[in-house]
Copies of this chain bind each other. A is one copy, B any other.
Amino acid sequence: MNKPEDNLWDGGLSFAKLDFAREARTGFGETVFCPGKTEAQLVAILDAFHKSNRPVLGTKCSIAQFRAAEAAGLPLEYDETSRVLVSAWASPKPVEGTVAVCTGGTADIPVAEEAARTAVFFGATVQRQYDVGVAGLHRLIGRIGEIRKADAVIAVAGMEGALGSVLAGLVEVPVVAVPTSVGYGASFKGLAPLLAMLNSCAEGMTVVNIDNGFGAAAFVCRMLRSRMKRERS
């Protein structure tokens, strides 16, 4: 149904329209949300990136999906904790700057790692500050000097999600808050920290979807890239 020339422009797949032009348009290459894709679909998508030597990052990738891609001979790096998959054959043009990725607790680490690895993929330097939740403020206070040196802060927290508010009151740089589905009962799978973060009384903070570490890092890296362009222009 599609004309051949369309397919070339789209990466040559019938079921997916790869956006190879996005890099030119928004400054970033395409990334792949893996859930809901068959192994065959995912392999075909990754293969198209590989063939055109373009970098690619996949999120929430299951081990089975990764194994299928690996079995197809694609050179990939995969992290089980964060379920992040990255191309070993190419990397995006790196952004410049440091991101502090902080978590309220240990159970928030998988989401934080999704953010951290995304930021690393885009070339940022990452500072990991895990388990610094507000119930033990001294832990956070002990780290605040270091956190203040970053260009942006990503605050990852489940339960009551207060970490972002407290951080935004303590640092000068932009804070992006990531609610997580860590918790139980009235957490309602992350609704509690999501609403808390949206209602923060602190200025200088925005929010992404529950468990969306990737989205926070992609935003922060867009911010860093945008700054680079400005500085050079």
Given contacts A169-B134, A185-B181, contact A203 B174 (CB under 8 A): no
Name the distance in Å between A49's Cβ and chain B's nearest Cβ.
Answer: 14
Tell whether A51 is near chain B: CB-to-CB under 8 Å. Answer: no
A174 engages B35 (CB within 8 Å): no
Please state if A186 and B182 are interface contacts (CB–CB under 8 Å): no
A219 contact from B28, B33, B189, B205, Cβ within 8 A: B205
Q: Are B222 and A174 in contact, CB atoms less than 8 angstroms apart?
A: yes
Q: Which residues of B contact A191 (CB under 8 A)?
A: 186, 195
Indicate whether A62 reaches chain B with its CB closer than 8 angstroms: no
Q: Which residue of B lies closest to A36 (CB)?
A: B107
A222 touches B208 (CB 8 A): no
Interface check A90, CB cutoff 8 A: no
A91 within 8 A of B: no
Chain A interface: which size bin?
Answer: 35 or more
Q: Which residues of B contact A159 (CB under 8 A)?
A: 199-201
- Is A109 at the interface (CB under 8 A from chain B)? yes
A6 touching B142 in the complex, CB below 8 Å, given contacts A31-B203, A41-B106: yes
Interchain CB contact under 8 A, B200 and A160:
yes
Is B35 touching A184 in the complex (CB atoms < 8 A)?
A: yes
Known A139-B17, A165-B162; judge A209-B219 contact (CB<8 A): no
Decide yes or no: A210 and B226 within 8 Å by CB, A19-B136, A169-B137 being known contacts. Answer: no
In the complex, per-residue mask of A1-44: 1 if CB is within 8 Å of any chain B CB, else 0: 10000100110000111010110011110010101110001000
What are the interface flags for A69-109 relative to B under an 8 Å C-beta threshold, 1 for contact and 0 otherwise?
00000000000000000000000000001000000111111
Residues on B with beta carbons closer than 8 Å to the beta carbon of A37: 106-107
Residues 181-213 of A, flagged 1 when their CB comes within 8 A of B and 0 if not, give 111111111111111111111111111111110
Interface flag for A117 (CB, 8 Å): no
Chain B residues lying within 8 Å of A189, measured Cβ to Cβ, are 185
The verdict on A120 contacting chain B, using a C-beta distance below 8 Å, is no
Contacts of A134 on B, CB cut-off 8 Å? 134, 162, 165-166, 169, 201-202
Q: List the 3 closest pairs (A to B, CB-CB), nearest first.
A: A36-B107, A185-B210, A162-B162
